[in-house]
Amino acid sequence: MSAEGNSSCCPSGTCTTSVCRVCGNPGMSVTKVTVESLVREARRSLLKSPEGFSFCRTPDCAVVYFNNDSGEYIEKDDMKVRVGIKEKQGPAPLCYCFGWTKKKIEDEISRTGKCRAVEDILNRMKSTGCDCEHSNPSGGCCLKDVADYVAIAHEHGKNG
């Protein structure tokens, strides 16, 4: 569940937060399912446990997951997928279940003046469901991140 508690597609981590000791910013708890699904086996096999990790949302921090109790930090290179929030170059994924990237959103806005990403995701969630806990590094629903990026890209298109 997202920190806002309104994630309808994913039963992911709790709303508790801890602070990444590398960047000093708060993270959000993720379930062991998320860690087990997205961390490369070579790195995962070195963990004391896949439980107790938090996701670091700071774009410039190399840490993706941290566990302050065990002193373990999992970085971008340890992941099976690209972590969109931490990517400087495309494709930067936003929706891991249905393939929406920052570039795809920007391209649609350039072509049509609008973007149907949020509508598409909501419709597909109803018909096929999503698998955020297994596919999204945050372990939660992407809808807020997608909607936020659509607004930013749309505004940039007006001003750009």
Torsion of CA 18, 21, 23, 29, to 10 degrees: -30
The pLDDT score that the predictor gives to residue 12 is: 43
Domain with CATH 2.20.25.270 in the chain: 17-78
The pLDDT score that the predictor gives to residue 25 is: 96
CB under 8 Å to 129, separation ≥6 — which residues? Answer: 9
Kindly indicate whether the domain formed by 17-78 is annotated with CATH number 2.60.260.20.
Answer: no
Output the tens digit of pLDDT for each of the chain's 160 residues: 333 333 344 344 445 579 999 999 999 999 999 999 999 999 999 999 999 999 999 999 999 999 999 999 999 999 999 999 999 888 899 999 999 999 999 999 999 999 999 999 999 999 988 899 999 999 999 999 999 999 999 888 766 5
Task: Report how far residue 67's alpha carbon sits from residue 143's, in angstroms, rounded to the nearest whole number.
Answer: 26
The pLDDT score that the predictor gives to residue 156 is: 80
What architecture is the 84-159 domain classified under in CATH? Answer: Orthogonal Bundle (1.10)
3-state SS string for the chain: CCCCCCCCCCCCCCCCEEECCCCCCEEEECCHHHHHHHECHHHHCCCCCCCCCEEECCCCCCEEEEECCCCEEEEHHHECCCCHHHCCCCCCEEECCCCEEHHHHHHHHHHHCCCCHHHHHHHHHHHCCCCHHHHCCCCCCCHHHHHHHHHHHHHHHHHC
The pLDDT score that the predictor gives to residue 10 is: 36
Domain with CATH 1.10.10.1100 in the chain: 84-159
The pLDDT score that the predictor gives to residue 154 is: 84
The pLDDT score that the predictor gives to residue 68 is: 96
Task: Report how far residue 142's alpha carbon sits from residue 122's, in angstroms, rounded to the nearest whole number.
Answer: 11
The pLDDT score that the predictor gives to residue 91 is: 85
